[in-house]
């Protein structure tokens, strides 16, 4: 999680970017992207200019990917990494970030399941005739026909 800095770590056989990416379950482009935005430190290079990585980088990248899979934003991951790099710090900030994220996930779940209900109703009421009498089009045309007016208030950050 810290220090891929030593010039030639004897223990680890020095991985190329592709192998690193494979081990963490992402693509080389993503690794370079993370380096560019500062989630991964600049990797040491071969004479020819290619990046080489050790086990520490694998761990760090795995942490990042895992946190991202959990839905944490890159900025949140940045903070989490910062804290993981300082194990002596109290962990209430970590806790706060995770709790905040949990709340967001829960609110998304609520809205998403309200949405599911509306979609089910819509689909269930479609009798399969012509568009002019289609319940789906009708519901989309007229918000009044929704059961819950406020529950699906914008799906933009919900998936």
Partner DNA sequence: ATAAAGCCTGTAGCGACTAGAGGTTCAAGC
Partner DNA sequence: GCTTGAACCTCTAGTCGCTACAGGCTTTAT
> Does 24 sit near DNA (CB under 7 A)?
no
The binding track of 46-75 with respect to a second copy, each residue x by CB under 8 A or -, is: -------------x--xx--xxxxxx----
Residue 18, interface with DNA (CB under 7 A)? Answer: yes
Considering the rule CB under 8 A, would residue 2 count as an interface residue with a second copy?
Answer: no
Two tokens, residue 3: 């220090």
Q: Distance of alpha carbon 132 from its chain centroid, rounded?
A: 41
CB atoms within 10 A of CB 90: 8
56 interacts with, out of DNA, a second copy, none, CB within 5 to 8 A per kind: none
DSSP secondary structure, 21-38, as one string: HHHHTS-HHHHHHHHHTT
Question: What Cα–Cα distance (Å) separates residue 108 from each residue in 73, 150, 157?
Answer: 15, 13, 8
Check residue 26 for interaction with DNA (CB under 7 A). yes
Per CB under 8 A, the list member of 2, 45, 140, 148 interacting with a second copy is 140
């Amino acid at each position: 999680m810290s220090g891929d800095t030593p010039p030639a770590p004897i223990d680890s056989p020095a991985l190329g970017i592709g192998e690193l990416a494979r081990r963490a379950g992402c693509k080389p482009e993503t690794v370079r992207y993370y380096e560019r935005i500062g989630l991964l430190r600049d990797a040491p290079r071969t004479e020819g200019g290619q990046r080489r990585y050790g086990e520490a980088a694998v761990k760090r990248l795995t942490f990042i990917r895992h946190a991202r899979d959990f839905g944490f934003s890159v900025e949140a991951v940045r903070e989490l990494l910062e804290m993981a790099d300082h194990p002596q710090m109290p962990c209430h900030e970590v806790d706060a970030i995770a709790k905040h994220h949990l709340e967001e996930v829960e609110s998304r779940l609520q809205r998403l399941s309200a949405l599911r209900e509306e979609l089910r109703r819509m689909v269930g009421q479609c009798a399969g005739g012509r568009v002019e009498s289609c319940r789906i089009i009708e519901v989309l045309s007229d918000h009044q026909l929704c059961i819950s007016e406020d529950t699906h208030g914008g799906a933009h950050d919900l998936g």
